[in-house]
Amino acid sequence: MLIYPQERLALFIDGANLYATARALDIEIDYKALRAFFARKARLIRAFYYTAILEDQEYSPLRPLIDWLDYNGFTLVTKPVKEFTDDHGRRKIKGNMDIEIAVDMLNISHSLDHVVLFSGDGDFRRLIEAIQRRGTRVTVVSSNSTQPSMIADELRRQADQFIDLEQLRDMIGRAPNGKDHDDAPGDAAYKDHLDD
């Protein structure tokens, strides 16, 4: 992994995309370990976490994770999910955070040397290209070890560096006993949030 100690670094975590990738690999993310890992590698300027939430629920299983991240060094960007009924009468939810990620990354990129994007979404290819034109290196974290692959080929090719999430399992995965540091909630909350 090519991250240099003097680099000004920011993390951009597409919460739903990272959750889906981690779930496909049977990894539960330990966010305290994730942040600490990258803070040891470089000068971590900001760690953004993006997620859409169901606001009409009395209680969201995702809320403890969001609150923990907010109190522990992450910059939270949330928005309410949109609910709709598809042509077959099935209830669907939509909570795409692509625009929020793109705006924040473009706004802060002039102050960074390196960006790490946790997403495999091919829609980010042009964003990554724009960030690179500003002189900022881009690492993408997703997975090519899953069937099907969780990363779009065009995104992987555009990135300066690709890291398979599987390679980070021992550094940022939840401990085998199922506990995070300081009992921080893990991303298993996503499963409950999405299953509601």
The token pair at 62 is 């995702």
The token pair at 171 is 């550094």
Residues in the chain, overall count:
196
Residue 1 confidence class, pLDDT cut points 50, 70, 90? confident
Backbone angles phi, psi at 21, to 5 degrees: -70, -45
Greatest extent of the chain over all pairs of C-alpha atoms, in Å = 54
* Coil/strand/helix, residue 46: strand
Burial of 43 (C-beta count, 10 Å sphere; 0-12/13-18/19+): middle
What pLDDT score was predicted for residue 45?
98
Indicate the domain borders of the chain. 8-195
Residue 180 confidence class, pLDDT cut points 50, 70, 90? very low
Q: For residue 120, give the amino acid letter.
A: G
Average pLDDT over all residues of the chain: 88
The token pair at 188 is 């298993």
What's the whole-model pTM score?
0.86
- Least confident segment among 41-45, 55-59, 120-124: 55-59
Architecture of the 8-195 domain: 3-Layer(aba) Sandwich (3.40)
